[in-house]
Amino acid sequence: MGRLEGKVALVTGAGRGIGRGVAMLLASEGASVVVNDLGTGLGGDGADVSIAQQVVSEIEAAGGTAMANTDSITDYDAVGEMVQGAIDRYGKLDIVVNVAGILRDRMIFNMDEAEWDAVIAVHLRGTFNTCRHASAHFRERREGGRFINFSSTSAWGSPGQPNYAAAKYGILGLTAVLANSMNRYGATANAILPYAATRMIDSTPRAEKVREETGKLPSELAIGSEGDPANVAPMVAYPATDDAQNI
């Protein structure tokens, strides 16, 4: 029996990269998983509803339980419906993992308002939306609850990422508030600042230099190495367990 047997988890951005690895691991540990992914490009453009369903199919093929959701986490009401949908389907919600994100990199003196707003909306507002709706359920149940939010070392001042860095710093503050306000209801909140070579890193100027030198993108080179996105998932799995109530 897995350590998350009987738990219900919602993972945003679960169609690819780190989010996919998290969803797969939580499912393998026994959790029923809501796989949320709009299937957009790195800049938040377009949509591919098949991305989330592919992960669900993989989880089910491995003997796990999952359902797909393709709503945008920037939509407050849609996120409320997603959370309620998980409760209606599985009877409750125990774990919320916020991984979803986009990039629109630009130096501060070149960034326009739309590029700022788009990144803030997905990372910061999206994390608020899921935590807001899940927190009401956690408060009502008073049987625990796990918020696991993804920040980034870019929060410390990554050049060319004023929007992304501001959002990721904001997530740290939001997570601290969750920890201090929801502990009375048995809920915990943690933020993770991971290192992994994902398609986000593939989009940077440094990635192009790596491809010129090696013929492969960083995400391809990372498979099986310390930069493999699959290595991040265990950092989520433990805070999601009942053993993590005191961390």
pLDDT tens readout for residues 116-166: 999 999 999 999 999 999 999 999 999 889 999 999 988 999 899 999 999
Q: Per the confidence metrics, is the pTM higher than 0.85? A: yes
Beta-carbon neighbour count of residue 229 at 10 Å?
Answer: 22
Whether residue 42 has pLDDT greater than 60: no
Whether residue 40 has pLDDT greater than 50: yes
Task: Identify the pLDDT of residue 200.
Answer: 56
Task: Identify the pLDDT of residue 221.
Answer: 43
- The four Cα atoms 111, 114, 40, 166 give a dihedral, to 10 degrees, of 60
Structure token digits, residue 188: 């915990």
Phi, psi (rounded to 5 degrees) for 106: -170, 145
Helix (H, G, I), strand (E, B) or coil at 86: helix
- Diameter of the chain measured on Cα atoms: 55
Burial (0-12, 13-18, 19+ Cβ within 10 Å), 145:
buried
Q: Cα(169)–Cα(123) distance, rounded to whole angstroms?
A: 10
Residues 6 or more apart from 24 whose CB is under 8 A from it?
Answer: 55, 58, 59, 62, 233
Given the residues 164, 169, 185, 195, select the one marked as catalytic.
164
| Position with higher pLDDT, 132 vs 247 | 132
Q: Cα(175)–Cα(147) distance, rounded to whole angstroms?
A: 8
Task: Identify the pLDDT of residue 49.
Answer: 76
- Could you tell me whether strands 145-150 and 187-192 are parallel, antiparallel, or unpaired per DSSP bridges? parallel
238 is annotated as an active-site residue: no
Give per-residue pLDDT as tens, 212-222. 555 544 454 44
